[in-house]
Amino acid sequence: MSGAFTKSMARNIFYGGTVFFFLLFLALSFDTHSQLPKRDMRQNITPQVAEGKKLWEVNNCIGCHTLMGEGAYFAPELGNVVVRYGEEGTKAFIQARPKEGIPGRRSMPQFNFTDEQLDAIVAFLKHVNSINDANWPPNSQG
């Protein structure tokens, strides 16, 4: 079968196809960027929210919890925790964690946050909850 299957053809398609789909991906990403301001509530990102995100990160909360479904699956979703527990309830929960854990149970560490830090964390979680994420999670249990 006279060259019915050439390697150079396959190679050209590989390069062409990759560039093609990457460009398409860039186009979609570009459109996403123009749409995001309508969904991500960026106008509400105060310094306090930013501080909350930082605290979220440096304490590696995502190592146990999920946020909008992403993270570890050891502990509850927190993107909607302010709906589940309320702002004060969320703060009280974080504050009340026993240092040595609860015998036999999964336990959250005691992080010894100050009141300002707790406010910032809750402000961040409240912000995440306000993001238009296509109505996820299905119910308040996350």
Task: Enumerate residues 23-82 that contact another protein by CB under 8 A.
Answer: 23-25, 27-29, 31-32, 34-36, 38-40, 42, 45, 49-50, 53-54, 56-64, 66-77
Give min distance, CB of 113 to another protein, in A: 10
H/E stretch holding 7: helix 7-35
Question: Of 96, 114, 115, 134, which lies in the binding site for another protein, with binding defined by CB under 8 A?
Answer: 134
The sign one gets for the Cα dihedral 76, 126, 87, 60 is positive
CB of 71 to another protein, least distance (A): 6
Please give the span between the terminal C-alpha atoms of the chain, in angstroms, as a whole number: 59
* Farthest-apart Cα atoms in the chain, separation: 77
Determine if 116 is a binding residue for another protein (CB under 8 A).
Answer: no
